Amino acid sequence: MTKYIRKYITKFRRKIAPVLLFPLLLLFVFLFRISPISWVRSFSKFGGKIFYRFAANSRQRALNNLKLIYGNDLTESQQIKIAKKAFTEMIMSFFDYMAYSHLKNKKRFFKLIEVVGEENLKAAYSRGNGVICLIPHLSSWEFAAITPPMLGYETSAASKAMKMKFLEMLMVRFRGKRGMKNITREGSYNALVEVLKNKECLIIMIDQDTKVKGVFVDFLGKPAYTPLGASRLLADTDAALVPMVMTRKEDNNYRFIIYPELPVVSTGNKENDLIENTKNQNKILGDMVRKFPTQWVWMHERWKTTPESLEQYLKNRAKEKSKT
């Protein structure tokens, strides 16, 4: 009986709950839009505390990751403080994005978001070979993804399909309103090459664990399985790679920092170049996280994949293919 009830609850959560949550989400979007942003952010801080308290698995992952990276440098209380702020930042960034989801006026948009270093993007874009915009999951990465098109650059983005389809539909709609074209990550490599050949910006994020083709390279001092997509695109096109990041300012608005173009390693040894370029990308992303540690997604299982688990995954996939 218990097993049956558990199965029923799981089915309800996956099938029915999203349908019920969609109207609620739309209601929140409407309320956030018409409310003073100070109220929305106060509610976000409360929501962040609730999220940290009751999301036990996410909280433990964040604390485990912080201990892995800062265990020898920060006390346990300091690590907990970072985790709590990271949870609040995640909620606040999401609620901010909902509150400003209708905002298309560039003057108002850039009052909310201060841009630093646009000359770096402009110089790379003007060469006409396309630009890979390397962005981490830090603060409001959704605002980060739509800032290049709001600045006037033709922009597409590769994104992983969400489990909650109605939320994905809503986010894609909000992105499109600000000029960003969405590309689903699965089976999209040729589409990404085409974007760069069309001399556009391409948003790519590689700071999360994934099962796509990758390599184990250093991230924040620990080996992390990292997608090779950005490095493959550099090898297959003449695109530039420009790192950029959205950060929270002290006034609770945002600063979008565009870094100088990252030099591309090209020795003629393609496999080695893929690894070296990915190392360099992880290095600058790691520097961003260390500079703004309370704004990164520590609750994500960044170091979940190990050489052993990857080997087992590939074996299982090969077995499944052999059966078909």
Its pTM stands at: 0.90
CB 244 within 8 A of CB 260: no
Q: What are phi and psi of 168, to 5 degrees?
A: -60, -45
Q: Which residue has the higher pLDDT, 314 or 69?
A: 69
pLDDT band, very low/low/confident/very high, at 1 (cuts 50, 70, 90): very low
> Residues 143-179: pLDDT tens digits?
999 999 999 999 998 777 666 666 677 777 888 888 8
Exposure of 136 in the CB half-sphere (CA atoms within 13 A): 31
Structure tokens at 33: 């839009």
Q: Where are the domains of the chain?
A: 18-97, 113-311
- Number of helices (H) and strands (E), helices first, in the chain? 13, 9
Distance CA 210, CA 226 (A): 7
> Residues 231-251: pLDDT tens digits?
999 999 999 999 999 999 999
Q: Which residue has the higher pLDDT, 25 or 53?
A: 53
Alpha-helix residue ranges (DSSP H) falling in 162-293: 165-177, 189-197, 229-236, 270-291
> Residues 119-147: pLDDT tens digits?
999 999 999 999 999 999 999 999 999 99
Report the range of poorest mean pLDDT among 14-18, 34-38, 264-268. 14-18
